[in-house]
Amino acid sequence: MKKINVGIIGATGYGGVELVRLLHSHPNAQLVAVSSVSFAGKKISDIYGNLKGIVDKVLTTEDTVITSSDVVFAALPHGLSEIIASKCREKNTILIDLGADFRLDDEAEYKKWYGIGFEDKSLHECSVYCIPELHREKVDKSCKIIANPGCYPTSVALGLAPLAKLGILSPNGIVIDSKSGVTGAGRSLSDGTHYPEVNGNFNAYKVACHRHTPEIEQTLSELCGSPALVTFVPHLLPVNRGILSTIYATADIHSVEQLHEIYSNFYRNEQFVRVLNIGDEACIKNVAMSNYCDISVHFDKRCGKVIITSCIDNMIKGAAGQAIQNMNILFGLDETSGLDLISPAF
Amino acid sequence: MKKINVGIIGATGYGGVELVRLLHSHPNAQLVAVSSVSFAGKKISDIYGNLKGIVDKVLTTEDTVITSSDVVFAALPHGLSEIIASKCREKNTILIDLGADFRLDDEAEYKKWYGIGFEDKSLHECSVYCIPELHREKVDKSCKIIANPGCYPTSVALGLAPLAKLGILSPNGIVIDSKSGVTGAGRSLSDGTHYPEVNGNFNAYKVACHRHTPEIEQTLSELCGSPALVTFVPHLLPVNRGILSTIYATADIHSVEQLHEIYSNFYRNEQFVRVLNIGDEACIKNVAMSNYCDISVHFDKRCGKVIITSCIDNMIKGAAGQAIQNMNILFGLDETSGLDLISPAF
Amino acid sequence: MKKINVGIIGATGYGGVELVRLLHSHPNAQLVAVSSVSFAGKKISDIYGNLKGIVDKVLTTEDTVITSSDVVFAALPHGLSEIIASKCREKNTILIDLGADFRLDDEAEYKKWYGIGFEDKSLHECSVYCIPELHREKVDKSCKIIANPGCYPTSVALGLAPLAKLGILSPNGIVIDSKSGVTGAGRSLSDGTHYPEVNGNFNAYKVACHRHTPEIEQTLSELCGSPALVTFVPHLLPVNRGILSTIYATADIHSVEQLHEIYSNFYRNEQFVRVLNIGDEACIKNVAMSNYCDISVHFDKRCGKVIITSCIDNMIKGAAGQAIQNMNILFGLDETSGLDLISPAF
Amino acid sequence: MKKINVGIIGATGYGGVELVRLLHSHPNAQLVAVSSVSFAGKKISDIYGNLKGIVDKVLTTEDTVITSSDVVFAALPHGLSEIIASKCREKNTILIDLGADFRLDDEAEYKKWYGIGFEDKSLHECSVYCIPELHREKVDKSCKIIANPGCYPTSVALGLAPLAKLGILSPNGIVIDSKSGVTGAGRSLSDGTHYPEVNGNFNAYKVACHRHTPEIEQTLSELCGSPALVTFVPHLLPVNRGILSTIYATADIHSVEQLHEIYSNFYRNEQFVRVLNIGDEACIKNVAMSNYCDISVHFDKRCGKVIITSCIDNMIKGAAGQAIQNMNILFGLDETSGLDLISPAF
């Protein structure tokens, strides 16, 4: 089979460079072009020494990437993807967008949380939001824009989907206490990501006002079939990678064994979601550097609460890996192609 | 004033050695004896090189400590303190117990969570559980046993007391998502505290079954005036020190400003509790190495949830520092004596 | 081509489990058996949750591994490999030994540093010590025992080989200041690898008496053609992986440009050794999780000292990866087979 | 005794804020003013939350600090201190300069390494460079400018002084391999101090060209009585605090016992220098947060090399603590006043 020509816009951000690393090793893809506004003209291996002698491509412009690729991955801050989508449409290039611009269906919600509206609604009408385990049937060769899900929302949706789809999850009063590694904050320098500030530290941030909240609610509402309302509090962990979401919910459940059976059944054919044995705790190190989502289920009988811990690598299952999984689906490849990464033991 | 003769049983555990460090610098105390079962006969500075040339005391026996001290601090695993308390009573020595043995009033609860009962109920009748900011009026010179609170329960009780005492906290449905540094697991070696396992990792543990749960509920019930029921999930943070508890509760509150005013008023005369400005987030680094508890308040209007983050150093305000604060109260000293520690900026 | 049947003895140590991870993904190898004394009868994925659903093999005995494999990798403490080698010889199984038992040619040196002698000298006579970039011509299908080099010696030999083979390195007065991540100390628990002891800490250990010293000197002596004498001081870094050796030597060199040219030429055909541009510094993160060795060269004109920094992943190029590279050579495979690992950017 | 009025210029840098923390608790000093160019007008506790409720001083100008203080501590990048010194002279205010401007006696050397010359030589003539253990006799009430030593040079000078002053140290061929925590790089943001870049990483930097080199040589030359020449290579450690220098030298020594005796004698009356027992290794955690310097001595008999490890907290003994120690000397106070800090055990 001819390899898919892939390009990356925003290749020197953390999401972008992770795409470079994974796509370089993808058996069905060929990395043809990478772009960066900040470093155009330099070799990407001058910015990221890990790539020296392996990927020495010169960083070019977004237009060159779009022109030379079958699929473009865009890994940019929100607000920049509509124009790229528009250019891709002209060139009949597929866009897999790792940014937030195409994730929300409801323009009003988008405006409320991101402060800007949709410029070209027709682009949004043809985009598909896809967490593969939940939405893969929506993706086929006719798709031109895939909205790749956010990292927190991926961990939460996978963590609650079995209960939500079964109709036994109470869509209100859900508490999501998430903890993310620092790469989630990106490569831009800030006081809050200066090494001596993070090392040994821990704190919540954007309490009950993080932009991933409407995305979480959109997916849960769709799965539940009724509007979901969540309290979402992210925290910054002193680690490079990983998200662990601890989710507190009410559901029509009477034992942990029942809960475990529901989850095991729901994900029994999924390669990338592992429902751990009762008593085993999902942890970042078992999913870091891989496309896996590990889920632990608990039932607090005293309070009648379901407690789910859902754990992913924020940059792989929460970004670059899931984007590649979506590309695989779109091209009819084995979904695990290029994603057979095993988390290192240490 | 004559200095108080203080001794430490279990001086080579993490809680114990922190007591050594703080009491050595206490202006009104003199460290007269330290004991350790594992290292008896050695100098404590042979075990902890930081003390070399500063505290070179030889580790002795528990009996010697009890005989030579006015106040004994015991920093031991649960199940060992009753005997010490009994010996202290004989010698008329005051016991400040950092273990769990005297924390719960209800023997049935203790048995349920710890698997053993009370041997000598008379000891429990005269012991006093004291978080200074909430219970200091219970402590005076007649006290012979002080049950020093647990680390997680301290962070939670201080985080909810203003609402609980005002009678506007709903005592049910409280979710407590706590994160602790590794010293909370003590100095004993285990797979789970081996450096390569913890570094870069994060996970929940003892989900909804941690032994601090009944202690948390006991204090909240007392403050609320009605039985409280909490879902408590601790997590292990890849840092040495600190606890941050994120607490989700329902209360008769309509704005964050109202919430902030309640907390500011409640703690306005407390040296060691800082209610942060609205928008500022409590974080471990601002309390580490100090006896402070920092509290941030939030109100999720969309869901009607109060969200409190409460942050302490697990080994100081959550253990050794609070124990010294209790000693200060008992002896009528300034409560901050020996505790004027400023958290380093980095 | 038929896949090579490979087995691992000591699969639950850090070196062993890294072999499991890498060999599972090797295109020309099939992992047929893994053994562990401590965990026999359990699934390896019960010990290492990262392998769950990927490698769920039950841990068996060393004899079963030897019987069922074409090549056995042994990742054990020193003193245990001779017996395995002997059993392998009987079964005509190839042994790649990651331990120290076959690394030193001189029994007297081995006895001096390890305290025990050679039991069966015939085994030692047919073993081959191989750092691929320096010794690959010694390895062919007739090899039955490969002594896989130690982690520190690999970093040092690659760091000095260009000067040593050119005959311009002074073999005396070499100072090697090495720093290693904690996985180098293995999976066994110890006070020195307890998380709160390592985090934020740094120290030298086994100063001028580490057992890798004679191995370093053996290789340098061979490369120089005269006896080399080195001062070797290892240090423990608060990271999981990686070794950086800073090497101070005297050589017949007059500029950094000359030095850089010598190194670039020497390694120009090597996939796994990257000589960095003048001014770029070798660092752990650019080689971690990969089989690369990055080398930076410097010349201190003021003092006439050559300063080389040589950086590897202690568990890959310094252990499991190099062992697989040796297997590839022995079987006439592409040397990079199964080793096309790119260090993640973060 | 009346307290000394002290002020800090550059109070929001890492050295500055450490001075704030330590001077606030100094029994003989009163912190009267703090300045910052970047944050003038704000409370220092708005920048550093650890100080909230403890030091809430508003940041003012350098002139106000100079006018209101008996002693000014300046913690600024090099090139800014001459003007301050000049203003202090006018106001008869003592200056303790933590920057590099007054450390080198030789203007040519300063120009060579720092690129600028001395503006006002008279200021340099009356400044005194003082590592208390080595130069305290040079400091008295007549001193108006103290050049506080650099962090690396302090660790090296204390590590070699006993041999140098005895005249048995060979002043050439000294190799200094130093490792520093990230706070040494200051509070300014940079790619190299972004958390995901430092965490898990390690590298050398400014190899054989760091500006502390001439300062190290100046002190060693003075101690040896002949020009010293050193190869100095600093490395960046993934920790917040601490420096460990591993020093390789040749001296007229024949055993480690002899070496140990020389060091023990030399420092027998020093409170802040601890010569560890033979076999004990200096480590960062035993000196972090304290003013101690721990020294381990080794003798590599095989190569005839003396190996010294010297360990300090870069921000205390290497900056703020040593500056306060110098102030204590200048004012005739107990040298340990305000510096009785015990390194925490974890």
A144, part of any domain: no
pLDDT value of residue B306: 98
Q: Find the CB nearest D202 among C239, C248, C302.
A: C239
Task: Answer yes or no: is pLDDT of B1 > 80.
Answer: no
Match 């703690």 to its residue by tokens.
Answer: B267
Three-class DSSP category at D54: coil
pLDDT value of residue D141: 87
Residue pLDDT, tens place only, B269-319: 999 999 999 999 999 999 999 999 999 999 999 999 999 999 999 999 999
pLDDT value of residue D304: 96
Residue pLDDT, tens place only, A224-248: 999 999 999 999 999 999 999 999 9
C168, part of any domain: yes
Q: Does the CB of C14 have a partner CB in chain B at under 8 Å?
A: yes
The answer to whether A84 and A102 are in contact (CB under 8 A) is no
CB contact under 8 A, B182 and C189: no
**pLDDT tier at C9 (50, 70, 90 boundaries)?**
very high
A106, part of any domain: yes
pLDDT value of residue B312: 98
- Please provide the DSSP assignment of C196-224 as one string: HHHTT--EE-STTT-THHHHHHHHHHHHH
Task: Based on the fold, state whether residues C56 and C170 are members of the same structural domain.
Answer: no
Task: Based on the fold, state whether residues C176 and C271 are members of the same structural domain.
Answer: yes
CA terminus-to-terminus distance, chain C: 36
Task: Based on the fold, state whether residues A252 and A294 are members of the same structural domain.
Answer: yes
The residue-averaged pLDDT of C251-257 equals 97
- Please provide the DSSP assignment of B73-98 as one string: EE---TTSHHHHHHHHHHHT-EEEE-
The residue-averaged pLDDT of C240-251 equals 98
Task: Based on the fold, state whether residues A27 and A116 are members of the same structural domain.
Answer: yes
The residue-averaged pLDDT of C217-227 equals 98
The whole-angstrom distance between residue A164's C-alpha and the CA centroid of its chain comes to 20
Three-class DSSP category at D173: coil
**pLDDT tier at B163 (50, 70, 90 boundaries)?**
very high
CB contact under 8 A, A246 and B177: yes
**What residues of chain D, 257 to 296, have a C-beta less than 8 Å from chain C?**
281-285, 288, 296
**pLDDT tier at B264 (50, 70, 90 boundaries)?**
very high
Q: Which helix (H) or strand (E) holds B231?
A: strand B230-236
With left for phi above 0 and alpha for psi between -120 and 50, is residue B201 left, alpha or beta?
A: beta
Give chain B's length.
346
Is B143 catalytic? The answer is no
Give the distance from residue A193's alpha carbon to the nearest chain D alpha carbon, in angstroms: 6
Which pairs with CB-CB distance under 8 Å and at least 24 residues apart come from B116-121? B116/B79, B118/B82, B119/B82, B120/B82, B120/B85, B120/B86
Q: Find the CB nearest D200 among C177, C207, C239.
A: C239
D330, part of any domain: no
Task: Answer yes or no: is pLDDT of A1 > 90.
Answer: no
C143, part of any domain: no
Please give the torsion angle defined by the CA atoms of residues D160, D162, D167 and D172, in that order, rounded to the nearest 10 degrees: -10
Match 């002693």 to its residue by tokens.
Answer: D71
Q: How far apart are CA B6 and CA B72, in angstroms?
A: 6
Give the distance from residue B221's alpha carbon to the nearest chain A alpha carbon, in angstroms: 15
The percent of residues in chain C predicted with pLDDT above 70, rounded, is 100
CB contact under 8 A, C196 and B14: yes
CA distances from B264 to B102, B306, D221 (A): 31, 16, 59
The answer to whether A34 and A8 are in contact (CB under 8 A) is yes
C266, part of any domain: yes
The answer to whether B56 and B45 are in contact (CB under 8 A) is yes
pLDDT value of residue D6: 98
Q: Which chains touch A (3 or more CB pairs under 8 A)?
A: B, C, D
C187, part of any domain: yes
A180, part of any domain: yes
The answer to whether A86 and A120 are in contact (CB under 8 A) is yes
What residue spans of chain C are helical by DSSP H?
14-24, 44-47, 62-68, 81-91, 107-114, 121-125, 132-135, 151-165, 195-198, 212-224, 256-266, 321-330
**pLDDT tier at B78 (50, 70, 90 boundaries)?**
very high
Q: How far apart are CA A269 and CA A292, in angstroms?
A: 13
Per-residue tokens: D162 = 């006993």
For strands A127-129 and D305-312, give the pairing.
unpaired
CB contact under 8 A, A196 and D200: no
Task: Answer yes or no: is pLDDT of A313 > 80.
Answer: yes
CB contact under 8 A, D238 and A195: yes
**What residues of chain D, 136 to 195, have a C-beta less than 8 Å from chain C?**
172-173, 175, 177, 179
Looking up residue A208, the CATH number of its domain turns out to be: 3.30.360.10
CB contact under 8 A, A235 and B229: no
Enumerate residue ranges in chain D where pLDDT < 70.
none
**What residues of chain C, 190 to 209, have a C-beta less than 8 Å from chain B?**
190-191, 193-200
Task: Based on the fold, state whether residues B88 and B157 are members of the same structural domain.
Answer: no
Write the ipTM: 0.97
**What 3 state SS string does chain A have?**
CCCEEEEEECCCCHHHHHHHHHHHCCCCEEEEEEECCCCCCCEHHHHCHHHCCCCCCECECHHHHHHHCCEEEECCCCCCHHHHHHHHHHHCCEEEECCCCCCCCCHHHHHHHHCCCCCCHHHHHCEEECCHHHHHHHCCCCCCEEECCCHHHHHHHHHHHHHHHCCCECCCCEEEEEEECHHHHCCCCCHHHEHHHHCCCCEECCCCCCCHHHHHHHHHHHHHCCCCCEEEEEEECCCCCCEEEEEEECECCCCHHHHHHHHHHHCCCCCCEEECCCCCCCEHHHCCCCCCEEEEEEEECCCCEEEEEEEECCCHHHHHHHHHHHHHHHCCCCCCCCCCCCCCCC
The answer to whether C94 and C73 are in contact (CB under 8 A) is no
Q: What angle do CA C186, C187, C192 make, to 5 degrees?
A: 75
**pLDDT tier at A103 (50, 70, 90 boundaries)?**
very high
Q: How far apart are CA C250 and CA C273, in angstroms?
A: 22
Task: Based on the fold, state whether residues C193 and C235 are members of the same structural domain.
Answer: yes
Task: Answer yes or no: is pLDDT of C1 > 90.
Answer: no
* Chain C CB contacts of D248 below 8 Å: 175, 177, 231, 248
Residue pLDDT, tens place only, A264-293: 999 999 999 999 999 999 999 999 999 999
pLDDT value of residue D164: 98
Mind telling me the catalytic residues of A?
Answer: 151
Residue in B109, B113, B177 to test binding to A, most A beta-carbons within 10 Å: B177
Q: How far apart are CA B328 and CA C183, in angstroms?
A: 45
Task: Answer yes or no: is pLDDT of A298 > 80.
Answer: yes
pLDDT value of residue C229: 97
Other beta carbons less than 10 A from residue A200's beta carbon = 23
CB contact under 8 A, A205 and B281: yes
Counted across chains A and B, CB pairs separated by less than 8 A come out at 149
Task: Based on the fold, state whether residues A168 and A248 are members of the same structural domain.
Answer: yes
The answer to whether A298 and A325 are in contact (CB under 8 A) is no
Q: Find the CB nearest A194 among D193, D200, D238.
A: D193
CA distances from D188 to B313, D135, D210, D236 (A): 27, 32, 18, 16
pLDDT value of residue B240: 98
Beta strands in chain D (DSSP E): 4-9, 29-35, 71-74, 94-97, 127-129, 145-147, 174-180, 203-204, 230-236, 243-249, 273-275, 293-300, 305-312
**pLDDT tier at B116 (50, 70, 90 boundaries)?**
very high
The answer to whether D270 and B325 are in contact (CB under 8 A) is no
The residue-averaged pLDDT of A52-80 equals 97
pLDDT value of residue B149: 98
* Chain A CB contacts of C52 below 8 Å: 274, 276, 286, 294
Global confidence as pTM = 0.98
Q: Which domain holds residue C31?
A: 4-125
The residue-averaged pLDDT of B112-117 equals 96
- Please provide the DSSP assignment of C88-145 as one string: HHHHT-EEEE-SSTTT-S-HHHHHHHHS---S-HHHHHTEEE--HHHHGGG--TT--E
Task: Based on the fold, state whether residues C215 and C268 are members of the same structural domain.
Answer: yes
* Chain D CB contacts of A190 below 8 Å: 189
CA distances from C330 to C122, C124, C140, C343, D161 (A): 20, 18, 5, 26, 54
CA proximity to D68, closest of D92, D44, D48, D85: D92
Query: How many structural domains compose chain C?
Result: 2
Task: Based on the fold, state whether residues C113 and C197 are members of the same structural domain.
Answer: no
Task: Based on the fold, state whether residues B120 and B192 are members of the same structural domain.
Answer: no
The percent of residues in chain A predicted with pLDDT above 70, rounded, is 100
Give chain C's length.
346
Looking up residue A8, the CATH number of its domain turns out to be: 3.40.50.720
Helix axis angle, C212-224 to C151-165, nearest 10° = 20
Task: Based on the fold, state whether residues C237 and C305 are members of the same structural domain.
Answer: yes
The answer to whether D33 and D64 are in contact (CB under 8 A) is yes
CB contact under 8 A, D14 and A196: yes
Average model confidence (pLDDT) across chain A: 97
Per-residue tokens: A215 = 């995305």
Task: Based on the fold, state whether residues B157 and B113 are members of the same structural domain.
Answer: no
* Chain D CB contacts of C171 below 8 Å: none
Q: Which residue of C has its CA nearest to A282?
A: C49
